[in-house]
Structure 1
Amino acid sequence: MAADPEAARARIAGALDDYWRAAVAPFWVRLHALLQDDIAYRLEQLADGGVDALLRGLHPSVRFDDMTLHVQKYYDGDASSDGRGVLLVPCAFAWPDVMVRTAQPVPVALSYSPRGVGRLWEQHRSSRHAALAEVLGRTRADLLRLLDLPMATSQLATQLGYAAPTVSAHLKALHAAGIVTARRDGRFVLYSRAPVGDLLMAGP
């Protein structure tokens, strides 16, 4: 790196890009949906109970007392935010720990596992899915399978390889029947399974 910093940076960037394509990109739609879901939940906690409620449920190793954020780690240390604030970062790869960054001048950052991180790797029973497809149709059964996490029409279309208008029409039908729910998040409408949809996926 000392001899040729530009070449070293290019090599590192290329390796990171290769890693992204192999290990993260195939799962990014579900990862992104999980992170969005967690952020929405934390914002509701903040609105309902303030900072105390938000930080109390963040992680078993985290507590907030007397304007001090305590994180139980395998080393001791203190750091002041110095007005920089604290950045909370949901990270699917943080489990089961929390990661802390205190270096100046950027904000103090705390990375934690988002709620429901185990759902990323669940395998759905193919026999149950096939039976549901016989009743609802394959496209709607496929949509229900993916909607254990909130997703937008474009995300679902990408995941399934269907045209966005086709996905939108099926989502509207499922929503009208009360099988999925919908909520607006900025420019997007995020759909997720309603309790009835969960029951359909679970089976008897």
Structure 2
Amino acid sequence: MSESPRRRQLLDAAQAVIADGGLKGLTHRAVDRRAGLPEGSCSAYLRTRHALQAALAEHVSGQLLADVDELADRLLHSDEPHGFDAALGLLLRWLDQRDLLVARLELTMAATRDPGLAQVLATHRARLVTIVEGIMTTLGKEHGAARAEALVASYDGLLLTALLKPEDERTAFLAESLQLLGSTMAGAPVT
């Protein structure tokens, strides 16, 4: 779904609110303040807290999916044999977008208690797994939905761990971890 500029401004502000204060701090007023808009602006677009959370889950997941789609397209049209550098670059770029990652983590935890939110995130995750499976096919690796889903879950864990590390250790940690994943999870080349 295409977002209007105002709705995007509100959702970007909501993402920052969550990153700063957690999901408990996500209120319509906090979003209005963060966006620099008059009180009532957020509720005019997203009437309830649940609507705000669901829209934010779509917004955050959509950004991540767009990045992975772009990575898949780039790998399809490149001669990079295993995609290591491209994957590392994407994960490092996401680490620089702390608000995006923290909002995603907060929404994921909330989804464990909210079936509606869980459905929004599950739909996006299924699309992500499909893209990763396609990347594995493009790179000539063993693939399958279960292998791709395990790889996506592994990347989630790597991102969370890297987010908790000092900035100067993140690149080395991710590079080493991706090498290990590449040799164990991604599967051998298909011959």
Q: TM-score, normalised by structure 2?
A: 0.31
Which of structures 1 and 2 has the bigger CA Rg?
Answer: 1
Higher strand share goes to which structure? 1
Higher helix share goes to which structure? 2
